[in-house]
Amino acid sequence: MDLSSISPVTLIVSLMAASTPILLAALGELVVEKSGVLNLGVEGMMIIGAVCGFIAAVTTGSPWLGFLFGAICGAAVSMIFAVLTQYLMANQVATGLGLTMFGLGLASLLGHSYTGINPPAFSQIHIPVLSDLPVVGRIIFGHDPMIYFSLALTFGIWYFLTRTRGGLVLRAVGESHDAAHALGYKVIRIRMLAIAFGGACAGLGGAYLSLVRVPQWAEGMTAGAGWIALAIVVFASWKPGRAIIGAYLFGGVTVLQLNLQAAGLAISPAYLSMTPYLATIIVLVIMASDKKRQSLNAPASLGKTFFAST
Amino acid sequence: MTPLLHLSGLTKAYPGVVANDDVGFEIAPGEVHALLGENGAGKSTLVKMIYGLVRPDSGEMRLHGQPFAPHEPRAARAAGVAMVFQHFSLFEALSVAENIALGMDDAPETDALSDEIRSVSKKYGLTLDPDRMVGDLSAGERQRVEIVRCLLQNPKLLVMDEPTSVLTPQEVDVLFETLRRLRDEGTSILYISHKLEEIRTICDNATILRLGKVVGTCVPAEETSRTMAEMMVGTELKSPTKRPYQPGPVLLEVKNLQLPSKDPFGTSLRDVSFSLHAGEVLGVAGVAGNGQDELLLALSGEEPCEDAAITLKGAAIGSKGPNHRRLQGLLAAPEERLGHAAAPDMSLTENALLTGHARQRLTNKGFVKWQATQNFARAIIQKFDVRTPGAGHAAKSLSGGNLQKFVIGREIMQRPDILVVNQPTWGVDASAAAFIREALLELAEQGAGVLVISQDLDELMEISDTFAVLSEGRLSRVRSASGVTIEEIGLLMGGTEVDHAAA
């Protein structure tokens, strides 16, 4: 085994790319859950975003249009969930699981003739001088625009949730929909918007996966990223800043185990591939041991169906 | 002078029930007007129409002589109508300032708002820290949040729905002081309550509702509580007669019970000790959130504790679960009817099975004896006068009072040696409440020990033989209920321990 083949700088750079799809999906789900809705369909929305973004990018030749279309399609499928749970009062857990199944199936149907094609390239930014600096240059100034966008989005969501009236109303709806309704807020409308936002973020994450991270279309390519995003929301105690830590932790373990595999570590690759998921489970168990602190941040109405009683 | 608010012919029907039928009255500027009625009389519906949450089917409202038909709460607030809700419409995980901002249509920046909150709370004597989290506040402080939220909008009409149900007597005095000051400034108040003494103290006029109709008006100061109650109920009320209390042998002994709460906003029990005798009704007073729920959980066996902390007829049972305790004669009826005492979507028969199976032998080797269970449920319904079409109906289809009679009846019918009840008559109409109290007293007369946890002091004074106060998870010394004054209890409820040697 040759550990010296693993360069820390490359590791950090690829870690960020590996984490971005999960981070985007987790941020979207965080907003959805803050509004009191539990959408377990993240995986389905992600893969729809992946396939739709891929098709759009290949057809138009523009990765930007691919991202846009991926986000739109993610939001569109999330509306199935939204209408079922918000207007028809369907159970959120069952509907979310159904959305995942539906998304996976629909994506393989849509993507059937797109396997094996290369999408248009989406390159890293290059700022003269700055990007050429040793170490710092590649870690800070050498990524593609979507990574910067995901970081800006994290900050934006934090600012929205904690500093704006809209964010306050959203949190209030997630905290007690009955009280929010009594004050005259439109609970269902706010939740519809949150779900659409969550769908768009998941779709964007999926598109990043098929356009940048892999970059190809393959059936079932999300491989549980949507579930990890859900876990990261809990790990982050519904705080955007911590979602970065969670996503990068998972991405870091993923990239590290790949590097270790390449370096020829004498452990079966099957075990190494497990490590990111194992790490997620272990971290969640540790987090859950402190219930009191966690439940302070958890939206109190999470997953509860809202009936407007007049 | 034109009245501030004039209502006439208001009618609102829901499928199967007419909630308001041709209701009309008026409120003058600077008047404190009481709206009286039992549960289900239509008070809430009427208030929701004034606040724009519900639209009337027919009828007319006029504010300052102008037609007034708010289609949403925002419109009502803009017209100068503000409301303090019965079940607080607050968000526990948000700060006081955030909660207040949510109730305003054009909330200023957080800092400016905090200053405004401080100045208003100072002006009306309502101490309030804008930065604290609402989940950490007492019920009285929470209500202040609601009131300050209303006052910041300079309302012309303040609607208060059961404002004192969760307050200590001292907090009630502070509230009334604030209301009087508001009235003197020309704000009208619509005051909804079933506490008749309070209405006599504070209200200028009263309108009485029964089954959706106005059945009378009166000047509360000229009436007695009894005459008003009878107008409300429509029949004469009987009050339970207390029998002389002879303490029997100790049935339940609780010693240094410690129980950390699992709810982040809950209260841990600290060093609770008392003993309950045969034939005793022990009343436990205290403001909501001082450990009442936790005490019930510890006694019912839902939250196990150290074995030695609870002794039932000589046996240590602290770590035993509810069924073991039931078999030994310790039964409990928690406060929350729907979801805790009864499963809302299950039939009354099934609900009867849930707590009755062990003691009533309703199962045989794991199989349910449905016939016996149904007979048991029917017996409860008959003996406790539960108004329902049949035992097969879902628990949630019953009115609060009827379900409460069923829940209490289910336990009493099992002939407990000890019965623990939390808020047995909360949100229950006057006649059902009287019935339940009578049943509890009868149970004690037959030699059972009864522990009644309640926030209704009048209720406790009426039925208790002995008396203790729960404050911040600690239980005061148990004393005889005769000779205790409301002021003394109020001080205890606020956490002040009055002279130990005295009682």
Nearest-by-Cβ selection for B107 from A165, A180, A297: A165
Which is the CATH superfamily of the domain at B252-493? P-loop containing nucleotide triphosphate hydrolases (3.40.50.300)
Q: What is the pLDDT of residue A244?
A: 94
Q: Is pLDDT of A198 > 50?
A: yes
- Label residues A171-189 b or e (16+ Cβ within 10 Å = b): bbbbbbbbbbbbbbbebbe
**C-alpha dihedral, A194 to A198 to A200 to A204, nearest 10°:** 150
Confidence check: pLDDT of B495 > 70: no
Please count the CA atoms within 13 angstroms of the CA of B407 that sit on its side-chain side: 32
Q: With b meaning 16 or more CB within 10 Å and e meaning fewer, what string describes A5-33?
A: eeeeeeeebbbbbbbbbbbbbbbbbbbbb
Least confident residue range of B3-7, B222-226, B405-409, B446-450: B222-226
Q: What average pLDDT is seen over chain B?
A: 85
Q: Which domains does chain A have, with CATH numbers?
A: 3-115+125-297 (1.10.3470)
β-bridge pairing B32-36 and B188-193: parallel
Residue B440 has pLDDT above 80, yes or no: yes
Locate A191 and state its tokens.
């939740």
Ramachandran region, residue A112 (left: φ > 0; alpha: ψ -120 to 50; beta: rest) = alpha
* pLDDT (0 to 100) of residue B247: 83
Q: What is the mean pLDDT of residues B403-430?
A: 89
Please give the sequence-ordered ranges of beta strands (E in DSSP) within B28-98, or none if there are none.
Answer: 32-36, 58-63, 66-67, 81-84
Contact B444, B418 (CB under 8 A): no
Measured between beta carbons, which residues in chain A are less than 8 angstroms from residue B53? 182, 184, 310
pLDDT-derived band at A310, boundaries 50, 70, 90: very low
- B400 φ/ψ sector (left φ>0, alpha ψ -120 to 50, else beta): alpha
Whole-angstrom Cα Rg for chain A: 20
> What's the rounded Cα separation, in Å, for the pair A137 and A9?
10
Other CB atoms within a 10 A radius of the CB of residue B321 amount to: 12
From A169, A300, A310, residue closest to B53, measured CB to CB: A310
| Residue B496: band (very low, low, confident or very high) from pLDDT cuts 50, 70, 90 | low
pLDDT band at B407 (very low <50, low <70, confident <90, very high): very high
Name residues whose C-beta falls within 8 Å of residue B480's C-beta, 6 or more positions apart in sequence. Answer: B465, B466, B467, B503
pLDDT at B74 over 80: yes
Give residue limits of the domains in chain B. Answer: 5-233, 252-493
CB contact under 8 A, B93 and A292: no
Q: Which residues 156-195 in chain A show a CB within 8 A of chain B? A: 165, 168-169, 171-172, 175-176, 178-180, 182-185
Tokens (6 digits) for B118: 């401080």
Q: Is the pLDDT of residue A297 over 90?
A: no
pLDDT of residue B499: 43
pLDDT of A87 over the 90 cut: yes
Pull the structure tokens for residue A124. 């890293």
Residue of B nearest to A176 (CA): B91
Bridge partners of residue B471, in order along the sequence? B474
Tokens 């309502």 belong to residue: B126
Q: How far apart are CA B181 and CA B204, in angstroms?
A: 14
| Angular region, B302: left φ>0, alpha ψ -120 to 50, beta rest | alpha
CB contact under 8 A, A184 and B72: yes
The mean pLDDT of A291-308, rounded to a whole number, is: 75
Choices 3.40.50.10090, 1.20.1050.10, 3.40.50.300, 3.30.930.10: CATH for B5-233: 3.40.50.300
The alpha carbon of residue B56 is apart from the nearest alpha carbon of chain A, in Å, by: 11
| Predicted pLDDT of residue A46 | 96
Q: What is the pLDDT of residue B501?
A: 36
pLDDT tens, position by position, A277-290 = 888 888 778 877 76
Look at B293-297, B346-350, B394-398 and tell me which has the smallest mean pLDDT: B394-398
- A168:B102 CB<8 A: yes
Order of strands, sheet of B5-14, starting from the edge strand that comes earlier in the sequence: B17-27, B5-14, B58-63, B66-67
Q: List pLDDT tens digits, range B369-387.
A: 999 999 999 999 999 888 8
Which of B272, B88, B50, B75 lies closest to B166, judged by CA?
B88
The tens digit of pLDDT for each residue in A114-167 reads: 988 889 988 777 888 888 887 778 888 888 899 999 999 999 999 999 989 999
Instruction: Give CA separation, B274 vs A24, B304, B442, B490, in Å.
Output: 57, 18, 22, 20
Residue among B50, B74, B90, B102 with most chain A CBs within 10 A, to mutate: B102
The per-residue pLDDT of chain A, averaged, comes to 89
Largest Cα separation within chain B, whole Å, is 76
pLDDT tens by residue, B240-263: 566 678 888 999 999 999 988 877
Q: Check if B14 contacts A (Cβ < 8 Å).
A: no
Nearest Cα to B21, choosing from B34, B33, B31, B7? B7
Choose the mutation target among A159, A177, A183, A186 for the interface with B, i.e. most B CBs under 10 Å. Answer: A183
Do the domains B252-493 and B5-233 match in fold? yes
The single-letter DSSP state of residue B74 is H
Tokens of A23: 């981070």
Q: Is B9 on the interface with A (CB under 8 A)?
A: no
DSSP A266: S
Q: Are the beta carbons of B140 and B288 closer than 8 angstroms? A: no
With CA atoms as reference, the chain A residue closest to B74 would be: A184
What pLDDT was estimated at residue B411?
Answer: 93
Q: Number of A:B CB contacts under 8 A?
A: 58
Inter-chain contact A310–B94, Cβ cutoff 8 Å?
Answer: no
At B168, the amino acid letter reads T
Chain B residues in contact with A289 by the CB 8 A cut-off are none
Percent of chain B scoring above 70 in pLDDT? 94
Question: In sequence order, what are the residues at sequence separation of 6 or more whose Cβ sits closer than 8 angstroms to the Cβ of residue B6?
Answer: B26, B61, B62, B63, B65
Complete DSSP assignment for B263-287: STTS--EEEEEEEEETT-EEEEE--
Distance (Å, whole) CA B478 – CA B482: 12
Beta bridge partners of B11: B58
CB–CB of B51/B73 below 8 Å? yes
Asked whether the beta carbons of residue B90 and residue A179 sit closer than 8 angstroms, the reply is yes
Q: What is the pLDDT of residue A59?
A: 95
A61 to each of A17, A118, A204, how far by Cα in Å?
22, 11, 17
Looking at chain B from residue 63 to 122, which residues have their Cβ under 8 Å from any Cβ of chain A? 72-74, 77, 85, 88-94, 98, 101-103, 107
- Within 10 Å of residue A204's Cβ, how many Cβ atoms? 31
Q: Distance between CA atoms of A28 and A42, rounded to whole angstroms?
A: 9
Q: What is the pLDDT of residues B456-482, one digit of tens each?
A: 777 888 889 998 988 888 898 888 887
Q: Which residues are within 8 A (CB) of A19 and not within 5 positions of it... i.e. 6 or more apart?
A: A247, A248, A250, A251, A252
This model's pTM is above 0.80: no
**Higher pLDDT residue, B127 or A28?**
A28
Q: CA dihedral in degrees (A177, A183, A184, A187; nearest 10)? A: -10
